[in-house]
Amino acid sequence: MSEEFVVKIGEPVLTRYERARIVGARALQISHGAPVLIDIEQDDFRPHDVANKELKARVLPIGLSRRVPNGSPQNIPVFLLKDREFMSQIDKPQIQTMTKSSSDGSSEKSTSSSKSSADMFDVAYVTENSIDDFKEAGFDTVEKLAAAKISSLTKISGIGKTTAEKIIESAKELLE
- What ranges do the domains of the chain cover? 16-109, 115-175
What are the angstrom distances between the C-alpha of 165 and each of 25, 27, 29, 168? 31, 31, 36, 5
* Residue 54 · residue 38 · CB < 8 Å: yes
Residue 59 per-residue DSSP state: -
What are the tens digits of pLDDT across the range 100-110?
433 444 444 33
Cα–Cα distance, 100 to 27 (Å, whole number): 33
For the chain, what is the mean pLDDT?
76
Confidence (pTM): 0.46
**From the centroid of its chain, how far is CA 121?**
9
DSSP 124-155: TT--TTTHHHHHHTT--SHHHHHT--HHHHTT
What are the tens digits of pLDDT across the range 28-69?
999 999 999 888 877 667 898 899 888 888 888 888 888 877
Superfamily of domain covering 115-175: 5' to 3' exonuclease, C-terminal subdomain (1.10.150.20)
Residue 147: φ, ψ to 5°: -90, 0
In the predicted structure, residue 155 carries a pLDDT above the cut 80: yes
At residue 115 the predicted structure's pLDDT band, cuts being 50, 70 and 90, is very low
Residue 51: how many CB atoms within 10 A of its CB?
23
State the amino acid at position 152 in one-letter form. S
Cα–Cα distance, 164 to 56 (Å, whole number): 25
Q: What is the reported pLDDT for 114?
A: 38
User: Was domain 16-109 assigned CATH 3.40.50.300?
Assistant: no
Residues in contact with 92: Cβ distance below 8 Å, sequence separation at least 6, in sequence order: 118, 121, 122
Q: What is the reported pLDDT for 29?
A: 93
